[in-house]
Homo-oligomer: A and B are copies of this chain.
């Protein structure tokens, strides 16, 4: 019988597309096997287990997000960089909800160190443009990252749909507000 030509990378890619279509929680080994027309057990030659698949998906997604943000903020600084970052971030989360959800999985530092670290570095790079230094730099980076993740997460869970105000408009104003607080970061 002809082989399906599976690899860990092809599985991860397919899992990412599946996640965006049906939600990360519905990305199962069985569903993936069905997609390739093979039996469940066949996948275990390429991935260790379901958790391993999710970790690979998280690393892929973090890497894609870092690429997208990197391109968005290239050459910009200050408010321009922050807004570009915020728009790229929310854009990725809304166009790739399953992939985005995967970026929030808890990762071993040694596994995720690279892809998550790239992302962290970009946040910090933007904040350096605001003249922030340690420990304010880390505090501000945590707040900005929190606001970004919290916004897209709450938007997706429907928490914002209880009010008619446009979600896009609030996002732009929130970016303005973050810019303002970074420009005048309160010192202890």
Which residues in A have some Cβ–Cβ distance to B below 8 Å? Answer: 104-107, 109, 113, 116-117, 120, 134-136, 138-140, 142-143, 145-151, 153-154, 156-163, 165, 167, 169-170, 173-174, 176-181, 184-186, 188
Instruction: Establish whether residues A174 and B154, one from each chain, have CB atoms under 8 Å apart when the complex forms.
Output: no
Of the candidates B116, B150, B161, which one forms a contact with A149 in the assembled complex, judged by CB atoms under 8 Å apart? B150
**Docked pose: A161 CA to B107 CA in angstroms:** 11
For residue A172, give the distance in angstroms from its CB to the closest CB of chain B. 9
Name A's interface SS. Answer: helix
3 smallest CB-CB distances across A and B, nearest first, come from A150-B150, A146-B150, A146-B151
Residues of B with C-beta under 8 A to A174:
139, 142-143, 146
Residues of B with C-beta under 8 A to A173:
136, 139, 143, 186, 188
Of the candidates B143, B153, B167, which one forms a contact with A153 in the assembled complex, judged by CB atoms under 8 Å apart? B153
Instruction: Establish whether residues B177 and A181, one from each chain, have CB atoms under 8 Å apart when the complex forms.
Output: yes
For residue A93, give the distance in angstroms from its CB to the closest CB of chain B. 12
Instruction: Establish whether residues A145 and B159, one from each chain, have CB atoms under 8 Å apart when the complex forms.
Output: yes
